[in-house]
Amino acid sequence: MSTRLFRPLVAATVVTALALTGCASGAAAPTEETGATTVTVEDNHGSIEVPVAPERVVALDNTTFETLSEWEVTLAAAPKPLMYDLWPTLSGGDEVLDAGLHREPNIENILAAEPDLIVGGYRFRDIYDQLKEIQPATIETSPREGEDHASELKRQTEILGQVFGKGDEAAKLSADLDAAISDAKAAYDPSETVMGLITSGGKIAYAAPGEGRGVGVLFPTLGLTPALERSAEDASHGDDISVEAIAAANPEWLFVLDRDAMFGEDGYVSAKELVENAEALKNVPAVQKGQIVYLDGTFYLDEGIQAYTTLYRSAAEAFAS
């Protein structure tokens, strides 16, 4: 169901459904029969009261999927086209309703899931108001622009730990991230310049320091020295850049995000092929020395705290060697 068609119908549909399911009081204390309690958390929109260990969860934010999977959270609805086979315990069978993709979310299925809690945000942030109408206990915890990215990942994890009663597990995830960042910082030589790249559709794009998808945050977090300093025009997909411009920047290190790695579409060319087979890049120090870090193939669909911990560990190992 298109979001364009949803707005004229939402009020009547939601009121009817909530009257039947009783989920209109999602931010209030649950009934005594459930034995549940609530917790007040500070999400991206402010203070909100939500149930602890909610029974019916709709999770839309892919940056939370790995954490929810590790914590064995069961979902009532999820954006299955976004999940592929990465989180089978979350996407489940027919009992887990398909919430669709962010470009055309299935609002009817989200409503039919009768959620006690909705974990929205990131790709689904544009329908936040609609989600709040379905269930007031809707939280958005994805990293906010303009904030320290590592701190934002830990904040998100802490909030999820409060909601799902996994405080110790959340603290461990945050400690692992801190350790990986510390090791990468210690191993990096700031005299060596770094460039971030994003590949997709057989083309190489430039990931601006601090802004570019996935690899951009490494620069401020690790104090990397940019081989090229240019603001992002398209932070998500990367900016157009010629291989000659990359070669002229002469980076000692390359960090490369392959956006297409998980999709397996016809004509797919890997980031490794695009970068290492480019004639213009043959004499670039990063290519000559093999100083290229390719992000995990699942990174573009994940982007959670575990994915970044793995990335920083890979950076630490590469710099140390």
Q: Please write the tens of the pLDDT for every residue from 61-91.
A: 999 999 999 999 999 999 999 999 999 999 9
Distance CA 266, CA 252 (A): 32
Q: State the fold for domain 172-320.
A: Rossmann fold (3.40.50)
Does this model's pTM top 0.85? My answer is yes
Q: Band of the pLDDT at 20, cuts 50, 70, 90? A: very low
**Percent of the chain with pLDDT strictly greater than 70:** 88
Distance CA 276, CA 274 (A): 6
What does the mean pLDDT of the chain come to? 89
Q: Which residues contact 124 (CB under 8 A, 6 or more apart)?
A: 60, 61, 79, 102, 105, 131
* Encoded amino acid at 245, one letter: A
Q: Where is average pLDDT lowest: 1-5, 102-106, 209-213? A: 1-5
Q: Is the distance from CB of 229 to CB of 303 less than 8 angstroms?
A: no
**Assigned architecture for domain 3-149+161-165:** 3-Layer(aba) Sandwich (3.40)
CATH 3.40.50.1980 domain extents, the chain? 3-149+161-165, 172-320
Mind listing the pLDDT tens digit for each residue in 255-302? 999 999 988 777 899 999 999 999 999 999 999 999 999 999 999 999
- The DSSP string of 216-245 is TTHHHHHT-EESS----SSTTT-EE--HHH
Distance CA 285, CA 92 (A): 46
Q: Is the distance from CB of 90 to CB of 96 less than 8 angstroms?
A: yes
Summarize the confidence of residues 216-223 as an average pLDDT.
97
